[in-house]
Amino acid sequence: MRGPPIVLLPGLGCDARMYAPHRRRLPVLVPPWLPADSPHETLPAYARRMAATLPMCSGFILGGSSFGGMLAWEMAQHCRPAALVMIGSATGPNELAWWLRPQARAARWAPRGVAALVKPFAGPLARLSGLTDGSGQPLIAAMLGDCPADFVLWCARAIGAWQPSPPPAAPIFRLHGAADAAIIPQPGPGMTLVPRAGHMLDGGHAAVVIAWLTRIQATVPTRR
C-alpha cells in the first residue's frame, strides 16, 4: 500500500475491533492501551507514555475517534506526525455537548464501582443518547464489556480534567457527524461533516471514514 501508515486510537472503552474494516483497506496500526499510572493520571501524561510505545516518531498519520482523537491531540506533542486526523472528536472540553460536560467533571470524583455498574447498559445507553445508531450498539457493548471498568472510569476522569495542549504543528483534519449529540466542534478549516451521521462514525459510516482517510493519505507525503 502506498502512502504513510496510519496510527488510530479507539474511542472510550473500545479497542482495535472498532477499526476492523479500516485495517482491511489501509495500513492502520492500533496501539494497545496502557494501564493508567494512577486514577488521576492526566491525559497529557498518559499521551506521553503512549507516544513512547509507537514504532515510529515521524512520517505517519496519527489520529483517533472520540476519546482516541483527544489522546492523539496530546500524543502529537511528543512525536512528529505528518497529519492529525480526528474522527468525531474534540480539541478541548469546550467542544463537549452541554449535557456531557457535567458528567465528565463528575467522573473525577466517582467511586471505582460506578463504571462496573454502568458497563452492562453501555450499548442501550449509547443508542438512547444518540452516540450511535442501532448498527453500532452491539459492537460498543462487546468492546466495553471486555474493557476493565477501572480504565473506563479513568478515561472519563481524564476527559473531565483535560487541559488541552496547544495545537500541534501537523495539519489537522476533522471528520464529524452533522447530527453528533456528544461533541459540537468549533467551525474551522479541515472540517468535513457527514450528513445525518451521529457520534460513532466508525460503526455505520465506516466506508465514509475509510474513503476520507484514503484521500488524506494520498495527499500527505511520507517523511524519510
**Which class does domain 6-219 fall in?**
alpha beta
Rounded Cα distance, 153 and 107, in Å: 7
pLDDT of residue 203: 79
pLDDT of residue 138: 74
Q: Are 62 and 7 in contact (CB under 8 A)?
A: yes
Tens-digit pLDDT profile for residues 121-141:
455 445 444 455 555 667 777
The segments of the chain whose pLDDT lies below 50 read 109-111, 113-121, 124-125, 127-130
Instruction: Give pLDDT, residue 105.
Output: 64
pTM: 0.88
Q: Show Cβ contacts of residue 190 under 8 Å, excluding neighbours closer than 6 positions.
A: 171, 172, 173, 174
Residues in the chain: 224
Sequence ranges of the domains in the chain: 6-219
189: which residues sit within 8 A by CB, 6+ positions away?
none
Residue with cell 515521524: 58
Cβ 9 vs Cβ 51: under 8 Å: no
